[in-house]
Structure 1
Amino acid sequence: MLSERMESLADPRLDVYRSLKSTNATRDAQLFIAEGPTVVERVLRSDFRVRSVVISDRKFAAFEPRLPADVPVYRLTQVQAEELVGFAFHCGVMACAERRPPQPLETWLPAAGPALLVAGDRVTDPENVGALIRIGAAFGAAGIVLGEGSADPFSRRVLRVSMGNGLFLPIVETGDLAGLLAKLQQQYAMDICLTVLDATARPLHQHHFAARTTLVFGNEYDGISEAVRRVSDSRLTIPMFNGTDSLNVAVSAGIFLHQYRSTPADA
C-alpha cells in the first residue's frame, strides 16, 4: 500500500481536498470527492480511476484492509484533516477520483426489450438527485438522465445520499433534455411519461406502463418545463387526499418506480 504520513498541509497533493465546503473546484477539474467508508469503498470497487485517499488516524486501522495497493493513501491526524477540509471530519476517509467522459446511449441502453430510465428536469436539490439515483438503482433503472440546471450527480452530497449507487449506473447530463427525450422516443422506442401535478393527468394506478419507459420528474418548485412537456402527451399523477397538494420528488419517484415494477408492462 502507498501509505504516507503527511506532515504538512501545504503539500500540493492535498489541494483537491482543501476547503471543500467553500469551493467546487473538483467539477471544473473533472474530478469528484467521495466521502465516508461506504461510498469510498464503493468508488474503490468501481471502474473509476481513484487518484488518492485521505484518511484520519482513527479510521486507518479499521479501513486498511479495504485500501488497494496501487492508490496513494495520505494519513492525517483528526485535527489536520478538519483543518484541511474545512469542517468536522466525522467520516474519517475521503477519496478523489476522475470523472469519466459521457457514455453514448448506444453503449449501455438496450436497443430492444424492457428498459426503465429515470430523468430529472432541473432537479436542483442535491439530496433529491441523490435519492433519484438510489431509487433508480433499487428499482433496476438502466440509467439516469439529468437536464441542465440539475445538481451535480458527483457532488459529495449527491454521492453520500445515493450511497454511491451512481458509480455503477450510467448517468447522462444534457443541456437539451427535451431533445434527448425526443431521441429516446423516436430512436429507442421509449415511452416518455411525465410526472405532474395536474387534475387532468391520468391517475398512476390507471396507467399500464410500456416495457420501455422513461419517467420524468420535474423541478421542486415549478415542475416539468414547457419544452419537456411538448415531447410527450403521457402525463401521470398520484392522487392525493386530505388537501395534500404535492409530494417530495424522491417520495414521488419511489411510488412511480414501484408501480412500474408492480404492474405487468405492455409490450
Structure 2
Amino acid sequence: MAGNSQRRGRRVTSKKGATGGSGGKNKAGLSGKGRTLPADERPWHKAYSGTEKLPQRTAWKQDKERRAAAEEGRAPKAGVPGTKDTTWGRGTQGVKPTKRGKAPASRSGPRVAPGRRSTPAKGTPELLVGRNPVVEALRARVPATALYVANGIEIDDRVNEIIRTSADRGIAILEISRAELDRMTGGVLHQGIGLQVPPYAYEAFEDMLAAAAEHPAPLLVALDGVTDPRNLGAVIRSAAAFGAQGVFLTERRAAGMTATAWRTSAGAAARLPVAQVTNLTRTIKACQQAGFVVVGLDADGETDVYDLEAAVGPLVVVVGSEGRGLSRLVGETCDLRVSIPMASTVESLNASVAAAVTLAEVVRRRSMA
C-alpha cells in the first residue's frame, strides 16, 4: 500500500462533518428570563406590597409549602402567606425581621439555653425545663412546638397535667433518654421535662405604662444592665409576687428572656409583662412625665429604704447591674437613690435580692397607708 497508510496513529475514519443542530430543543434555554423585578414586586422581599400577581413558579412553591405544612401538622415557613405568628409572651412585638424580610433561620433542634458558654443566635427556639416552668407555660398557652419527656421519670400530678395539656393542644410529645435530654439542656437540672417554645415576644413599653397607670398605686421595675438571666428571672418573680405591673430592660448589653430566665422566674413571666427599651434614661424620663417617682438602688444612696415615703405613690424601682450598679446617666436621672442598710461585713447584695428587699418594703408601706 502506497504512502503512509501503514504508519502508526494513522486516521482510519473519515473526517468529522458539520455538527447538526438541536432541532429547536435548546431554544428555551437560550431565551432570557425577562426583566428584573423591582423590590415591591418580589414576594420574598420585605418591600413586597402583596397586591401584585405572583410569578407562576413562586406561587407553585408557596402552595407546595402550604400543602406540606398541612400534612405534617405545622405552620408554613416564614414568608409563605398564611404563616402564623409563633412568638410567645404577653407582647406583640415578636421577632424583628432580617434584612430580606424573612424570619431568622433557626438551627436544627431547640437552642440549648442553660449551661452553654457560646452565645446562641437570636430568634432560635428555646427549651423550657423543669416541671413548674413547663406547667406555667402550658397554662399561659405559650405556643409550644414539642414536649420532651425523659424515659422512666417519676410521674406526679404536674407531669400528668403537662402530658394531658400537651396532648389536648396537639403538641408533639417525644420520649427520649435522660442522657439525650441532658445533652439538649447542657446538663442543667430539667426534672425529666423539656418544652420547646419559639422566641419570646416582649410587651410594648407604651402599653405597659398605660396599663400600669390605671392602677391606684402603680409599680414598675427597671433593670439597668443586668446581664445574668437568672437574676432577670428572679427579679421578675419578685416583681410578680409583690404586685408590680411590669418589668422593663434594655435591648443591648443586658440579659433577655431566655429559657434560663423563664425557669428562674418559675413561670411568673407568663403573668407579668416584660418590655425591652432602646434607651433606659429616656424611658425613665417618660415615666417621670407620667407622674412616677423613680428610685435607683445604690449602695451609696442618700435615702434609706426604710425611710422611703414615696413608696405609697406611683413608683419605678431601678435595679443596677451585678458589678457596677447603676450607670452614671441613669443614677443622675433617678429622683432618689436608695440604699439598703447592712452589716459592715457585707459589701453589697445580689441584684435580685436587693430588688426583693425593696419591693417588700414598698408593699409593707402601702399596706400601712
Equivalence for 2:219:
116
Please give the alpha-carbon distance, in whole angstroms, between the structure 1 residues aligned to 2:367 and 2:293: 12
* Matched position secondary structure for 1:149: coil
Deviation at 1:97, TM superposition (A): 1.5
Q: CA deviation at 1:245?
A: 2.6
**Structure 1 residue 119: deviation in Å?**
1.1
Decide whether the 8 Å contact of 1:132 with 1:250 is kept in 2.
yes
1:170 has 2:270 as partner: no
1:13 & 1:105 partners in 2: Cα distance? 30
| Correspondence for 1:87 | 187
Amino acid across the alignment from 2:356: G
Distance 1:19 1:142 in 2: 27
Cross-structure match for 2:293: 191
Gaps of 5+ in 2: 1-105
Q: Please report how far the alpha carbon of residue 30 of structure 1 lies from its aligned counterpart in structure 2 after TM superposition.
A: 5.1
Q: Counterpart amino acid of 1:158? A: A
Structure (1 or 2) with the larger CA radius of gyration: 2
- Describe how 1:1-267 pairs up with structure 2 within 5 A: 15-16=109-110, 21-22=115-116, 24-25=119-120, 28-29=122-123, 31-59=125-153, 62=156, 63-67=159-163, 68=166, 69=168, 70-87=170-187, 90-108=190-208, 109-112=211-214, 113-147=216-250, 148-152=252-256, 154-186=257-289, 188-198=290-300, 201-208=302-309, 209-264=311-366
Q: Is the 8 A contact 2:226 2:322 kept in 1?
A: yes
For the Cα contact (< 8 Å) 1:33–1:96, is it kept in 2?
A: yes
Query: Contact 1:114–1:211 (CA<8 Å) still a contact in 2?
Result: yes
**Matching residue's letter, 2:276:** E
**Alignment partners' CA distance in 2, 1:19 and 1:210:** 39
Deviation at 1:261, TM superposition (A): 0.5
1:204 and 1:65, CA in 2 relative to 1: closer, same or farther beyond 3 A? closer
Cα deviation, residue 65, structure 1: 3.9
Question: Is the 2:218–2:314 Cα contact (8 Å) retained in structure 1?
Answer: yes
Distance 2:180 2:200 in 1: 30
Is contact 1:126–1:158 with CA below 8 Å preserved after alignment? yes
Shift in Å at residue 266 of structure 1?
A: 11
What stretches of structure 1 move > 6 A for 4+ residues in a row? none
Residues 220, 315 of structure 2: 8 Å contact kept: yes
Aligned-residue Cα RMSD (Å) equals 2.8
Deviations 1:24-56 (A, max 9, x none): 54x612533210111111111113211111111
Give, in angstroms, the shift of residue 111 of structure 1.
Answer: 2.6
Which stretch shows the higher mean deviation, 252-261 or 79-88?
79-88
* Superposition deviation, residue 86 in structure 1: 4.6
Matched AA of 2:162: R
Where relative contact order (Cα < 8 A, 6+ residues apart) is larger, the structure is 1
Greater share of residues in strand:
1
Task: Compute the displacement of 1:102 (Å).
Answer: 3.0
Amino acid at match of 2:244: A
Give CA-to-partner distance per residue, 1:179-233, whole Å, 9 cap, x none: 11111111x321111111116x111111212421010010111110112123223
User: Residue deviations 1:110-131, cap 9 Å, x none?
Assistant: 3342111111101122222121
Counterpart of 1:8 in structure 2 is: none
Farther-moved stretch of structure 1 (141-150 vs 95-104): 95-104
C-alpha spacing 1:92/1:219, structure 2 compared with 1 (3 Å): same
In 2, the alpha carbon distance for the partners of 1:166 and 1:94 equals 17
| Whole-Å separation in 2 of the counterparts to 1:215 and 1:55 | 40
Contact 2:293–2:335 (8 Å) recurs in 1: no
Distance 1:157 1:24 in 2: 13
Q: Note the alpha carbon deviations across 1:165-185, whole angstroms, 9 max, x for none.
A: 112210112231111111111
- Relative distance call for 1:202 and 1:161 in structure 2 (3 A) is same
Measured in 1, the distance between the counterparts of 2:350 and 2:300 equals 16
State the number of aligned residues: 252
Report percent identity of matched pairs.
23
The 8 Å contact of residues 113 and 126 in structure 2, kept in 1 or not, is answered as no
